[in-house]
Amino acid sequence: MADAIRTESEQPTLKRVIGPSLLLLFVVGDILGTGVYALTGKVANEVGGAVWLPFLLAFVVALLTAFSYLELVTKYPRAAGAALYTHKAFGIHFLTFMVTFAVMCSGLTSASSASKAFAGNFGEAFDLSIGDGFALTAIALGFITLVALINFRGVGESVKANVVLTCVELTGLLIVICIGAWALGGGNGDLSRLTEFNTPPGDAVALSVTAGTALAFFAMVGFEDSVNMAEETRDPVRIFPKVMLTGLCITGLIYVLVAISAVALVTPEDLGEGDTPLLKVVEAGAPAFPLTIFAFITMFAVANSALINMMMASRLLYGMANERVLPTVLGRVHPTRRTPWVGIIFTTVIAFGLIWFADLAALGGTTALLLLCVFTVVNVAVLVLRKDPVDHDHFKAPTVIPIIGAIACAFLASPFSGRATADYRIAGVLLVVGIVLWAITYAANKYVPGAITRP
């Protein structure tokens, strides 16, 4: 009888199964993906031959913010990430909601950009004549529908699957680096492009670099997701600092080497055309290499990004609905599949609209914009929470780092960075949807008691 009565404090906790090696693979695998596979050419459009520079600067900004995340995750080793830190620091329900909704929307824009990248590589892999935008859009819509069906059916991500996916994504990037080194060693390519900018000397160069950095930042996001694994990590206070910083440095180095290989073998103008820049690099550096194989590697990498992000978005929506900060109908679970089917439909419809109305660069830019805003809040939160001591030792970032991180993130999110207006337009529409949902829930809870019940 005693076993049948369990208090809330006696509920089972998450199993701590993740050690340093698996956590490192998770961090690296979460960062690698659509950003570098699809947006290297778009960054080249912004800055020219010095395409490696925005990736390096994006890495530095991500590293600064990672120090803030490390202080917070070792201080509060629980899942929930930015939403938890925002709530603890400011205690403003609406702000916590908007930060959480922004994280969810960043998942949708990331998945939508992955769908467009998938469509481009699908056309290359099967040598289809799909130069018109409508055909590519149709493939992207079909792909995101397939992702929704898989999401609905239920996807159990195991640790082994994550290792395999990470290895495939990493393999594709190492192929590009090796082909670049081989071609340059053989006297092919042009390293002089690495110092060329597509704007005249002066202030315009700085603006093009910051605009490229604001877009390249999309390739560096993902490290922040690892803090949600804190409750499943063995000794997170000790493990997280070394693992997260190591993972960021590995991916930063890979991205810079990929960017150097790309622009040395393909002109920035050619690199910026279409949605398959790295395929052009492989073709230019190793004409005998089977492009179909590399196209499939790229498709696999971006497909994984889309699936992970759509799962995250629908589950986050489900959690927000169950906490009654969104209409609880969005948290309904299918009785057979046990998946949040309303949330899946809702997020898929939004993704349809993003794929139809936005291009790849705008989707990547919007993802970076939303997360830069979230990172600004997190960098400020770590300073506010210095007033909240805990009873265990934890990582502490030098005070100047979150200050610089907050300023850098806020600047890259601002119009002063040269960010495209389309990014603000898309982000604004998404956040208006969030405000409307929050207002509906608030009004229902306040003026119609009992109107919103758990699904």
Question: Structure tokens of 204?
Answer: 């315009």
What is the C-alpha to C-alpha distance for residues 71 and 201, in angstroms, rounded to an integer?
40
CA–chain centroid gap for 384, Å, is 26
What is the C-alpha to C-alpha distance for residues 404 and 383, in angstroms, rounded to an integer?
12
The answer to whether 31 and 253 have CB atoms below 8 angstroms apart is: no
Collapsing DSSP states into helix, strand and coil, what is residue 233? strand
Question: Structure tokens of 289?
Answer: 């290499």
Q: Which helix (H) or strand (E) holds 321?
A: helix 291-322
What is the C-alpha to C-alpha distance for residues 90 and 398, in angstroms, rounded to an integer?
21
Enter the pTM of the model: 0.81
Beta carbons within 8 Å of 236's beta carbon, 6+ residues apart = 73, 74, 77, 230
- The closest alpha carbon to 46, from 190, 195, 197, belongs to 197
The answer to whether 47 and 69 have CB atoms below 8 angstroms apart is: no
Distances (CA, A) of 64 to 67, 71, 109, 399: 6, 12, 24, 11
What is the C-alpha to C-alpha distance for residues 349 and 310, in angstroms, rounded to an integer?
11
The answer to whether 214 and 375 have CB atoms below 8 angstroms apart is: no
Tell me: the pLDDT tens digits for 215-236?
888 888 877 777 766 666 777 7
Tell me: the pLDDT tens digits for 423-444?
999 999 999 988 988 888 788 7
Beta carbons within 8 Å of 126's beta carbon, 6+ residues apart = none
> How buried is residue 301: exposed, middle or buried, by Cβ count under 10 Å (0-12/13-18/19+)?
buried
Q: Which helix (H) or strand (E) holds 451?
A: none
* Topology classification of domain 16-447: Amino acid/polyamine transporter I (1.20.1740)
**How many Cβ atoms from other residues are within 10 Å of residue 114's Cβ?**
34
Cα-Cα-Cα-Cα dihedral of 262, 267, 271, 273, to 10°?
A: -170
Q: What is the CB-side half-sphere exposure of residue 306 using CA atoms within 13 A?
A: 33
Phi, psi torsion values for 233, nearest 5 degrees: -105, 135
Beta carbons within 8 Å of 404's beta carbon, 6+ residues apart = 64
The answer to whether 378 and 72 have CB atoms below 8 angstroms apart is: yes
Phi, psi torsion values for 290, nearest 5 degrees: -65, 110
Write down the pLDDT at residue 448.
56
Phi, psi torsion values for 237, nearest 5 degrees: -60, -35
Tell me: the pLDDT tens digits for 290-345?
888 888 888 877 777 787 778 778 877 777 777 676 777 888 888 877 778 888 89
Question: Residue holding tokens 């999309």?
Answer: 218
- The closest alpha carbon to 222, from 368, 78, 347, belongs to 368
- Tens-digit pLDDT string for the chain (455 aa): 444 434 434 444 445 667 788 788 778 877 887 778 878 888 888 898 999 999 999 999 999 999 999 999 888 887 567 877 888 899 888 888 898 889 888 888 888 888 888 888 787 777 665 555 678 888 899 999 988 888 787 644 444 555 676 788 888 899 999 999 999 888 888 888 998 888 765 557 888 899 889 888 888 887 777 776 666 677 777 888 888 899 999 999 999 999 999 999 999 989 888 778 888 999 999 988 888 888 888 887 777 778 777 877 887 777 777 767 677 788 888 887 777 888 889 999 999 999 988 887 788 889 889 999 999 999 999 999 999 888 888 899 999 999 999 999 999 999 988 888 999 999 999 999 889 888 887 887 776 554 444 33
- The closest alpha carbon to 20, from 170, 244, 308, belongs to 244
What is the C-alpha to C-alpha distance for residues 98 and 300, in angstroms, rounded to an integer?
32
